[in-house]
A and B are shown apart, each in its own frame.
Chain A
Amino acid sequence: MSEYDQELDARGLNCPLPILRAKKALNDLSAGQVLRILATDPGSVKDFEAFAQQTGNELLESGENEGEFHFLLRKSG
């Protein structure tokens, strides 16, 4: 299990809420800190990739376990 500074439970939420909640949570972190996100929206896999690419926050990990997705985002500096 990877290290993270904060966790966001976006399970049960649909597009675009996981991204919007993640953005909000990142606002409260300092550069370099890591946010872990849990989600059930299958669209969030592509969306977090796209989010990372466009915002400069690094997607460290993206995985799935029994229909639940988890992501690790490191806030850009």
Chain B
Amino acid sequence: MADKKLAIIATKGTLDWAYPPFILASTASALGYQTCIFFTFYGLQLIKKQLDLKVSPLGNPGMPMPMGMNKWFPVLGTTIPGMESMMTTMMKQKIKAKGVATIEELRDLCIEADVRLVGCQMTIDLFDMNRDDLIDNIELGGAATFFEFAGDADVTLFI
């Protein structure tokens, strides 16, 4: 049986949205898929050497907050300085308590499983990012590089 192929475009740079691409890519690899993730725009944050991902309650009415804070806290309250780091700390504690893998761990598992990681060259130029700030196990490419892989993929996801 020829390997199935999974192509993912990762566009989000927050702690919560870092999970779907890495969970799906690592699992697909374990199932025998050839897998490629194309990181573009804020998704490039996920392939930085030093991850500094945060989760924000701002503009996120679906986010459960402790002690029912989302019920009585005014929306403006989510803009209070420190709110983002507080929510990030709490999320990280939950992740640990529930035995959920860290992003670093999932990313390492993807690299180990030979998931192809492609950083978007255009976004790197656009945001004046430094290639050296990104992990070594990636290649750089553009839209055509993505389609070279995704063109005959069995599953393609935009996250």
Contact = CB atoms under 8 A, between A and B. Distances in A.
Q: Do A and B make up one complex?
A: yes
Interface of A: 12-17, 19-20, 22-23, 40-41, 51, 54-55
Interface stretch (B26-34, B49-57, B77-85, B120-128): B26-34
Given A16-B23, A16-B26, A20-B109, A51 B99 contact: no
Given A12-B99, A13-B99, A14-B100, A19 B27 contact: yes
Contacts of A41: 99
Contact of A14 (B27, B30, B31, B99): B99
A31 B116 CA distance: 28
Contacts, number: 33
A55 B31 contact: yes
B30 A15 contact: no
B101 A17 contact: yes
A15 B31 contact: no
